[in-house]
Structure 1
Amino acid sequence: MSEKTLTGRRALVTGSLQGIGLAIARELGRQGCTLVLHGLASDTLARDACAAVLEAGAPAVEVLTHNLRDASQVQLLMEATLATSPLDILVNNAGIQHTAPLADMPRATWDDIIAINLSAAFDTMRLALPQMARRGYGRVINIASVHGLVASVHKAPYVAAKFGMVGLSRVAALEYANAGSRESGGVTVNCICPGWTETAIIQPQIDARAQQLGTGREAAIRDLLKEKQPSQRTSLPDEIARVVTWLCEPAAHNLTGVSLPIDGGWTAQ
């Protein structure tokens, strides 16, 4: 992929102060995008994220801190984003997780996971897509999960939200499929469905497995992944980010409504 393929574009990435979201923001910045970062974090983490995105090559960056649990806050997030200039790329990455058997899952936890992982994406999309369609170019990329394609125990609200994200994305893709043109780039809506990805959230599981087996990190990862991910390799956040930026290229104008697993063969089984 050539450098600076997204010069002049502007992107909002939710949940982008660390992890996969920050990797996506950096890669978009590297391709010339102006960035709107989003997240609930310390001032230090926000400053570090901005610095990383600017260092990658973004012409400008700002941070918004609205709480996606609250629909009115999502509305304000989008109003703030769209107040200064149009939005070309929307990446719905923000998400939370909690594991417990269905019978023991607190109702408040269900509400929070559905609100952040699904309802917030509905609101950002319904507010962003019409202005994308008017200009003939837009990219919505929803970071779902392998759990938007297959289920696992003890993850009822997370799996429900991610399956919902896949269905929501397909509906939006159909509704906006004929917006724009090949020349303008069109408007597309897609999901990326990562399997095991190296973020801070899985490090405790890797450490625990290494201690249990008395092995090194790589052997612990292979053992941890062997039941689900046939490659026995994790993905890196930067690898997920490269797929996002490719989907933003004009050449991807006819790639819409897909749910792309990056899961080492998990869902091929």
Structure 2
Amino acid sequence: MKRLILSILFCLSTAFVFAQGKVTFSPAAFTAEDEVTITLDVTGTPLAGLDDIYIWAFSNDGVGGGKDALTNGQWGSSSDKAKMQKTGPNLFTFKFTGTTLFGQSPAELINFGFLAKTKDGSKQTPDYKPFKFDPLVFVPSQFRVFPAKMDYTDVTTVYFQQDLATDQNLQRMYNIKVNLTFYDAAGNAVGTKTGLVTTKESAVLFSYAFIPERVITLPAGTQLSKFTYQFTGSIKDASGADVSTSGPVTEVVYTVFN
């Protein structure tokens, strides 16, 4: 009797999986900046046996700040960009990069979900969700920015890791501050702030976090294309007097997500 019950439960669970369809990803784990391939098996779903199906994707399910994928189109008329590629009987794939698909920065993307449908929305699979984006892993360097990709409305943090400095003056620098300059779409400087006090996160790591519109006054209608940053500070000369010094000017280009 026990074996019979277990067999029934196994059959029911297997039928449930096929009724839901099966989703796999390549790579299995990914960040919002990685190219990912979804493979969907629609066996047992209302889309089984069809040749043309479309993905309908959405970000940040249940956590707020979500958006529909830019490829979705309208429910009754999916965009051709959302068409999944048929690779076998009931097997379909779709390639995407999270930041491009949703028009959001890595810092804004936590998870995503999707379903598959006919172009006119008359048939669909259940929702498949949520699938989490892994956090970006940074490579320690003398100067770096987080996130690696951002637009000008995002919170951005610039870092100076002093123990990785190759210049002796930077290795000895103290009272560390940062200068920021912002540029419009034509490459014109529209605002500069100097001597911004950094946060000392450890004995060797200094940072400054900002949103441009809180650092400078942006002219109405201005869209920023990039910014530069430069860490500055002081060192002692041979007589023990304070002498100003600075690191290189580093340029960061903003990403346009939508």
Higher relative contact order (CA 8 A, sep 6+): 1
Tell me the TM-score range normalised by the shorter chain: under 0.3
Task: State the TM-score, normalized to the length of structure 2.
Answer: 0.22
TM (norm. structure 1) is 0.21
Larger fraction in helix: 1
